[in-house]
Structures are given as C-alpha cells and as structure tokens.
Chains A and B, each alone.
Chain A
Amino acid sequence: MRSGLLFKLALLLAIFGILSSGLTGYYAYSANRSMLVSGAKDDLLTLVQNINRRLAADIDEATADVLLLARLEPVERVINLPEGAEREGAKDRLAQSFAAMLALHPEYLQIRLIGAADNGLELVRLDSDHGLTKRVTGLELQEKGHFAYVFETLSLPAGQLYQSGIAVNHEQSSHDAEGRPGLMVATPLPRHDGRPGALLVVNIDLAHLLTKPLADLPAGYQLYVANRWGDFLVHPDVSQTFGFDKGRRILMQDSFPATRPLFERTRRTLELSGLDEPQQSPGRIMAFARKPFGMGTGEDFVVTGLVEPLKDVLAAAVPLGQRIVHMVLAFSLMAILLGVIFARALLRPINMLAEAASSFSSSAQPTALPVERNDEIGVLARNFDRMRLQINNHMASLYDNQRELSYLAHHDSLTGLANRSLFFQRLEQLLQQAQHEEIQFAVLFIDLDRFKEVNDRHGHACGDQILQIVAHRLLHVVRSGDMVARLGGDEYLILLQGSFTPHTLDELIGKLGSSIAEAMIVAGERLTVGASIGYSLYPRDGQTVEQLVSVADNAMYRVKAESPGRRTYSSS
C-alpha cells in the first residue's frame, strides 16, 4: 500500500514534469515557427519592394536616356528643317546615335523619333533585330499617331516624360519588340514655333527588366506582376499572362482573392502566410505591394507579388523542433527521476510514522520518529509521540490495577497471607509437577485455640490483631519457599516443600506451636492463644488437593479433641 502511494505520487509528479516540459517545448516550437514565418513574410515584402524599386530605377535610367537622346543636336534639326538633304543628314546622324544607344542597352528594343505630322509617321527608327540593331527606313516606316504613347506624349509640355503601362507589343514588323511584353518611355519635342514637332520614344523589354530580379530570387520563389485591373503581366506560367490580349481576363484578384484591397486601393501592401491565414494562402507565404507606375494621370499602378512555399520556411524550424523533442524527452526522463526521488523523500517520514504505529504495541523499544522536523510532518510526529506516551501511561496504570485486583483475589485482606484459592492453586500446581518428577510436600492445618474466647472478650479488633500477629509469626517460622495461607476464621494452612521425616516435621510443628503460643500484647493486654496443628504428607496421605487438605484437617481435629494444646498428629 505504501508502494502504491509512492507510485501514484511519483507518477503525478512525473506527469506534471512531462506536461510542463512538453507544453513549454510545444510553445517554443510554435513561437519559433511563427517568428520564422513572420520574418519570412517581412523579408518577402522587402524583396517585393526591392523588385519594385529596381523596376522603377531601371525605368528611371531609361527616362534619363530618353532625355539625353532628346538633347542631341540632330533632333532639333530633324524637327525644324524642311524636307531636304540637310534634314536627311541629321536623320542619319541621329540614327547612328540611336544605334549606339541600342547596342549599349540590350533592354531597349526600339528607339524612335516619331513626327507629329503625317499621322505620326516615324522619322528615325532603330529596332533591335535578333539582338542586332536595324535601321528601318522608307515605306517600312509606319504611322503611329493612333497609339496612346504617341498622342499622350504629344499632349505633354516640353521636357515632360510619358511612361506607358506594361503591355504586349502588337505592332507588326517591330522586329524583336513584336509580341513581347514591355513598356514605352517617351518625351515630346516641340518645334521652334511651339507646335508639336515629334516625340522620342524608347521601347523597353519587360523580360530584360525582370532578368536580374528573377535571377536574384532564391529557388522556389514565384514572381507575379499585375496591372491595375489585375491582369497578370508576369506569372510563373506564361500562358496566364496578358490574358486580355487573348480575349480572356486572368486576374490576380481571382487567383489570390486576398489581393483585392490592393486593387481597390484600400491597402498598399499585403503579407499572408499559410500559418496565419491558411485559407487565403494555403501552404504558401505571399507578399504583395502596389507601386505607382507610369507618369500620366498618376492613376496607373502595378501590383508585384512573391510567393514562397511555406514548407521551405518551416524547414528551418525542423532542427530546432528535433532539439526540442530531445530536450522534452530528457526533461521528461528527469521529471520521472525527480518524481520518484521527491515521492520517496516525501513518503519516508510518513512511512516512519506508519511503522511506529504498527510496531506501537508489539515492541518495547519505541521507534524513532521525525519529531525534529519543522513542517506538518514534524507536528504530526510530535503529536503522535505524545499520544504514544499517553497511551503507554494508561497501559501501565491498567497493568497496575490488574495486578492489584489479582492480588486481592488471591490474598487475605486482613493478614496479607495467600487465601484459600491461591493456596489450592499452588497445591494443584505442585500435584501436576509431581506427575513429572518425584517430589514430596506437607500440608499443615492450623486452628487457633481459645481464639473465640479472646475475640468475644476483647472484641473483633483485638481478634484481628491476633490473627495478624499469628500470620506474621507463621511466616517467620517457615522457610521462604513455603506458603502460608489463611483459610478463614482462625484457620491457617501451610504448604511445606521438601522431604520430611516425622521427626523434623514434629520439630517444625513444635516451633510453630510455641511461636503462636508466645504471649502477645494487644491493646495493652497480654494475651495468649494456642494452636492445634494437623498435617498430611504427599504422596503418603493423598493424591488430590481435597484428600491432602481433608487428611490434615482431620488430623488437626484429632489433636484438638485429644489434647488441646500444642500436639500434632498426622493422619496415620
């Protein structure tokens, strides 16, 4: 039962330990995961914003180039001079400069000077053609007045810049630019008279702009870019881009419903993770940022987004998770050990108390108790010790009372001699003993003579004193191993052990008789009583208590009848 309690307590402590270490471990693990994910979300957003900034920086660079080209000397001549050799010469020089710029910048697909006159007829046009520069001339030059980048740019004041949205170029025979997504950067070039003269436009390849950001992206990252209506411009699956071009809208807000607020302009950035928003971003971490784009109305923007698999981020949490598992296991083991140790330490004093209680009555030597402790167990031990002391005291007085009662039951209250019952018991014992070994003993029956007279004359108190004195004298005469008993009234019995000859017995009886017959001073008076003494011998006179006492009694009566005085006879 004690081991049961030990087991339970140890189990309880161990469970507490395991639970607390397990919960701490789990909390640490999930906190680590959410920290990792939150960090990854922020990193992703930073990356997205970097891509946006990089795009903007690249476009800024292009606009700087446009302004640089616009300031070239031949530009002004082409715009203002009438048709003629001089103007053609300026066009040729301009074409050389355009070619140089085109060769320098692989991201530029076309550099053109487009006139405001003749429905936006191209004046100087350099195309990138399979990576080489190609000048387009003559009838090949096209009228571009109906394209937004032309009429929008021409409507701008001098020195301003136009930037188109990102679109697939559908202008036929534009060489490398044809069919490719890109954007235009342009600036208006007024004539001397202030009328619109021309515009200088550079066609930028989107794929080239994205080459560097895409190359810098870690594996597994997916880049998405959408225009302000949500149409994908960049998508890992190219067939999902420029859907509107194929008569089918494929929108970012349909593929990623969470991005809707970006298009409604209620938010600028968005971060989602499969850990925090499992429904909106299952198994992924996503970051999106809206970036103003173009220079027209200020209405245009793009939304750039990066998506990263959640498991890639969470993979970093795995080693820590494993460590935590090991730690939790180690702590659990420790908790079990500590549980056992604590349970044992806690139960030792209780066991001591229990042992003390169980050995309380059986052992004379009191068991040691942890009374010196200051805690509740110490109090319990001290109380138990006190209780043990009290019970011991009670028990001792009980034993005393018992002994007294037993004494009273076997002794004569007046003389303190053994009473008839004790005498007969002793006699019985001897008889039993005699069955096993050869022993002899004698039973003497003494009856006082003239006691009745003395009693009648001097009163009971006097009689009692005489009986006491006689008892005392009898005890004085017999040996210490012999037994003297008062049978009642003035009759005494003596049990003498040992072997006797009639002679030695007579001598002893004589001594007894004369000792009794000696005068005694009782209540100031000198009194004498005599005694008639009969005896019986074992085994000669009987085999039972009754026989032996009866033989001695009869002998006493014969003495009393024949010679009152100090004569003794045996039965024979």
Chain B
Amino acid sequence: MQIRSGLMAGFICSLLAWQPLQAKDVLRVLAWPGYADVDVVQTFEKRFQVDVEVTFVDSDEMLWDKMHAQHGPQYDVVAANTAEMQRYFAAGLLKPLNPAWLPNTRHQLPRFRHWAAIPGLQQQGRLYAIPFTYSTMGIIYDKRQFATPPDSMNVLWDPRYRHKVLDFNSAQHNFSFAALASGIDHPFQLSAAQQKMLVQRLVDLRRNVLTYYSLPEEATELFIQHRIALMFGNYGTQQLNSLRLAGADVGYAIPREGVLAWLDCWAMTVAASKPQLAQQWINYMLEPEVSRLLPLRQGLADTLTASGELQATARVLWLQPVENAGQREALWQKIISGNRPGNI
C-alpha cells in the first residue's frame, strides 16, 4: 500500500515537473550573429508563448555542417544566402513556405517581392525562402581622388589608379565581377572560353592592384596607409563605417554593369514540426521594428526600406552557385600566386 502510494506520488511529481516542458513549444533557430538578438527573441517568445533556442554560425561551412547533422537538421528555421539555399533545397533539407502565413512580405521592397526574379527563393513553383537582409559588393572610392563617382567596374583596371586599387581575395567573386565588367550576362555560368579570357583580365587586374585583402580591418588599414583610390567592397556598406572611422572620405558606387550581392533569406527546414510557428517567426523577422535593427545594429540593409546606395533600377546579381567552383579556385590560386599568363 505504502509502495503504491509512493509510486503514485512520484508519478504525480513527474507529471508536475513535466508540465511546463509540455506547455511551451520550442522553436529552434539557426542564424548568423545579429539576426536574432536577445530582445528580438524575447518579444517573440512573449507574443507567441514559446521558447526560442537560437544557435549562431559564423561561416557558410559551419552552417552546412549544422544542417547536415547525423539525424538531419536539428532546427526549425535557418538563415542562409540564396546560393546556399539552392544547395539546401537540392539536398532536400527545406520545406515549402505558405505565402498566406507571411503577410509581412507586403512591406518588402518590390525588388524582394518578385520571388521568381531571385534565384533560390522558389523551386518548382513553390516558395522556399524569404529575403531578409542583403549586402551589395559595390566599389568603394576615395572621394578626394574622384570628382564624380566611378560608374563602371572597369575603373579597377584603369592604369591611372595603378597600385591604388584593392581587391578582395576570392576566386568566385573575382571571376564573377570580371565577367560583369567584360559585359558577360551570366557571370555565374562561364564558358571555358570566357574563363580563359577572364584569366587574362584578372592577371591584368593583379598588375593594377596594390594587393588583395581578406578582412575588412585589413582593407581599412591598407586604404589609409597607401592612399588607395578605390576598392572592390566585398563587405559592402558594412566596410564604409570602419573606413570613415579611420578618417577616409569614402563613397560607395554601384557600377552600371551591375553589382554582385549576397541575399540572406529565412527558410523552414524539413525538421520543423510546427510549420505555423516557424513561419510566424519568419513573418516576425519582416516586421519593420525587427528588420530596421539590421541597418541600425549591423550596418546591413533590410528588405523593407529603400537604400541610398542601391537605386531601384540598379542591376543586382544575387549570388548563385557557379559553374565550377573548384576550377575557378585552382585558376585563382595561380593568378594570385603571381603566375604569368603563359603559366596558367
């Protein structure tokens, strides 16, 4: 009798202890730092009476690893750029979204509502990702050395600025923007001939640049120390602040050939057990109060407000998987190592 009542008490206790865990749904978010700050998360938790667990990543590789955990993704929603989204879709890791549950998309700029125009958002006619934040890779120039802002990518090759140019050390982007500068329409899908031509263009560029940078701090330091005239702004407008803080009088130009840009989107993974909650999160991310924190806190652009740097008419090439990343990389290594055209 005593044992039975003890068991009963234990059972009731475990029920009581279990209760709060059962009571609240948990939303698991995989995102980049700055996308889900504590205050933003708390507001969502309060409004929807759920717990939110946020995991941050700081590279595409880390994101890929997390999404490919042993038993599938352990997250409900994920933030990644359009190129990555295409990979995740191809790997069958995403669930389609229901536009009816995402009413806040109506606040977005027209550019971001033309889902069909942005590769990676839709697959087989269904919506898989919603744009959230982006950054263009325009030209940063020294206003003191330019009376009018440069308007073409080709200014990087201009011998007048020999050794006054900085470029970003990246195989993919260099081929892509060199393709843009050369008037190639599909810079992410190069033919062998185009590639060969671009190698020469990139060797020419190498001879015109002072050097290549990897980190934004490095770029700022070089810019100031060597009186750089212009550079390829891989980190976009985020770089402007640190340059201005360091004393540079810099401008940001979107070349007429078009500009490369990454676009981070929110998507729902196949592991999302509460699709409605996952989409409530995505919809919440597009609220003006939440989205405007991106320019305020991160120096990034949001998808709701028009940016001064990016005209509505500007041609934006959202990053896409390239025809052969490995080959671009191999060529780039030769170029950056200083090989002469005959030896590439």
| B165 smallest CB distance to A (angstroms) | 10
Cβ–Cβ < 8 Å partners of A134 in chain B: none
Question: Which DSSP category, helix, strand, loop or mixed, fits chain A's interface?
Answer: loop
Pair A148/B211 contact, Cβ less than 8 Å: yes
Pair A170/B333 contact, Cβ less than 8 Å: yes
Partner of B343, one of A140, A171, A229: A140
| A70 smallest CB distance to B (angstroms) | 22
Pair B340/A143 contact, Cβ less than 8 Å: yes
| A228 smallest CB distance to B (angstroms) | 10
Report the Cα distance A338→B126, complex, angstroms: 94
Report the Cα distance A171→B338, complex, angstroms: 8
The proximity string for B residues 320-344 relative to A, scoring 1 for CB distances below 8 Å and 0 otherwise, is 0000000000000110111110110
| B228 smallest CB distance to A (angstroms) | 12
The proximity string for B residues 137-181 relative to A, scoring 1 for CB distances below 8 Å and 0 otherwise, is 000000000000000000000000001000000000000000000
Q: Known: A140-B343, A171-B338, A172-B334. Contact between A146 and B59, CB under 8 A? A: no
Query: Which B292-344 residues sit within 8 Å CB-CB of chain A?
Result: 333-334, 336-340, 342-343
Q: Known: A151-B211, A244-B215. Contact between A142 and B340, CB under 8 A? A: yes
Q: Is B66 positioned at the interface, with any CB of A under 8 Å from its CB?
A: no
Q: Is A96 positioned at the interface, with any CB of B under 8 Å from its CB?
A: no
Pair A172/B333 contact, Cβ less than 8 Å: yes
Pair A145/B207 contact, Cβ less than 8 Å: yes
Report the Cα distance A174→B211, complex, angstroms: 19
| B101 smallest CB distance to A (angstroms) | 35
Report the Cα distance A143→B334, complex, angstroms: 11
The proximity string for A residues 160-197 relative to B, scoring 1 for CB distances below 8 Å and 0 otherwise, is 00000000001111100000000000000000000000
Cβ–Cβ < 8 Å partners of A122 in chain B: 338
Q: Is B39 positioned at the interface, with any CB of A under 8 Å from its CB?
A: no
Cβ–Cβ < 8 Å partners of B342 in chain A: 139
Report the Cα distance A121→B163, complex, angstroms: 15
Q: Is B8 positioned at the interface, with any CB of A under 8 Å from its CB?
A: no
Cβ–Cβ < 8 Å partners of B284 in chain A: none
Cβ–Cβ < 8 Å partners of A144 in chain B: 338
Tally A-B pairs: CB < 8 A.
63
Q: Known: A140-B343, A143-B207, A146-B209. Contact between A173 and B59, CB under 8 A? A: no
In the complex, the chain B residue whose C-beta lies closest to that of A169 is: B337
Pair A151/B163 contact, Cβ less than 8 Å: yes
Cβ–Cβ < 8 Å partners of B337 in chain A: 142, 170-174
- Please tell me the number of chain B residues within 8 Å of chain A, measured between CB atoms: 24
In the complex, the chain A residue whose C-beta lies closest to that of B212 is: A146
Cβ–Cβ < 8 Å partners of B246 in chain A: none
Cβ–Cβ < 8 Å partners of A143 in chain B: 206-207, 338-340
Q: Is B214 positioned at the interface, with any CB of A under 8 Å from its CB?
A: yes
| A164 smallest CB distance to B (angstroms) | 12
Q: Is B289 positioned at the interface, with any CB of A under 8 Å from its CB?
A: no
Pair B343/A170 contact, Cβ less than 8 Å: no
Cβ–Cβ < 8 Å partners of B217 in chain A: 229
Partner of A146, one of B214, B225, B338: B338
Cβ–Cβ < 8 Å partners of A145 in chain B: 207, 338
Q: Is A119 positioned at the interface, with any CB of B under 8 Å from its CB?
A: yes
| B172 smallest CB distance to A (angstroms) | 13
Query: Which B94-121 residues sit within 8 Å CB-CB of chain A?
Result: none
Report the Cα distance A57→B201, complex, angstroms: 44
Q: What size tier do the contact residues of chain A reach?
A: 20 to 34
* Residue among A119, A120, A146 facing the most chain B CB atoms (10 A cut-off): A146
| A114 smallest CB distance to B (angstroms) | 10
Pair A119/B207 contact, Cβ less than 8 Å: yes
Query: Which B205-233 residues sit within 8 Å CB-CB of chain A?
Result: 206-207, 209-212, 214-215, 217, 225
Q: Is B62 positioned at the interface, with any CB of A under 8 Å from its CB?
A: yes
In the complex, the chain B residue whose C-beta lies closest to that of A247 is: B59
Report the Cα distance A145→B205, complex, angstroms: 12
| A531 smallest CB distance to B (angstroms) | 111
Q: Is A248 positioned at the interface, with any CB of B under 8 Å from its CB?
A: yes
Report the Cα distance A246→B210, complex, angstroms: 23
Report the Cα distance A120→B208, complex, angstroms: 12
In the complex, the chain A residue whose C-beta lies closest to that of B165 is: A146
| B79 smallest CB distance to A (angstroms) | 17
In the complex, the chain B residue whose C-beta lies closest to that of A297 is: B225
Report the Cα distance A405→B301, complex, angstroms: 129
Report the Cα distance A170→B329, complex, angstroms: 13
Pair A139/B210 contact, Cβ less than 8 Å: no
| B226 smallest CB distance to A (angstroms) | 8
In the complex, the chain B residue whose C-beta lies closest to that of A147 is: B211
In the complex, the chain B residue whose C-beta lies closest to that of A138 is: B343
Pair B339/A146 contact, Cβ less than 8 Å: no
Pair A146/B58 contact, Cβ less than 8 Å: no
Cβ–Cβ < 8 Å partners of A147 in chain B: 211, 338
Report the Cα distance A171→B212, complex, angstroms: 13
Partner of B340, one of A139, A244, A297: A139
Pair B210/A151 contact, Cβ less than 8 Å: yes
Partner of A247, one of B61, B210, B340: B61
Report the Cα distance A146→B217, complex, angstroms: 18
Cβ–Cβ < 8 Å partners of B343 in chain A: 139-140, 142
Report the Cα distance A248→B65, complex, angstroms: 14
Report the Cα distance A216→B226, complex, angstroms: 42
Cβ–Cβ < 8 Å partners of B61 in chain A: 246-248
The proximity string for A residues 112-142 relative to B, scoring 1 for CB distances below 8 Å and 0 otherwise, is 0000000111100000000000000001111
Q: Known: A172-B333, A247-B61. Contact between A146 and B211, CB under 8 A? A: yes
Report the Cα distance A140→B337, complex, angstroms: 11
Cβ–Cβ < 8 Å partners of A139 in chain B: 340, 342-343
| B314 smallest CB distance to A (angstroms) | 28
The proximity string for B residues 26-61 relative to A, scoring 1 for CB distances below 8 Å and 0 otherwise, is 000000000000000000000000000000001101
Pair A248/B339 contact, Cβ less than 8 Å: no
Cβ–Cβ < 8 Å partners of A141 in chain B: 340
A-B contact pairs, 5 of them (CB 8 A): A140-B343, A146-B207, A146-B336, A172-B337, A229-B217
9 nearest CB pairs, A to B? A142-B338, A172-B337, A143-B338, A171-B337, A119-B207, A139-B343, A172-B333, A144-B338, A146-B211
Known pairs A145-B207, A247-B61; list 17 more (Cβ under 8 Å). A139-B340, A140-B343, A142-B338, A144-B338, A146-B206, A146-B209, A146-B212, A146-B336, A146-B338, A147-B211, A151-B163, A170-B337, A171-B338, A173-B337, A174-B337, A246-B61, A248-B59
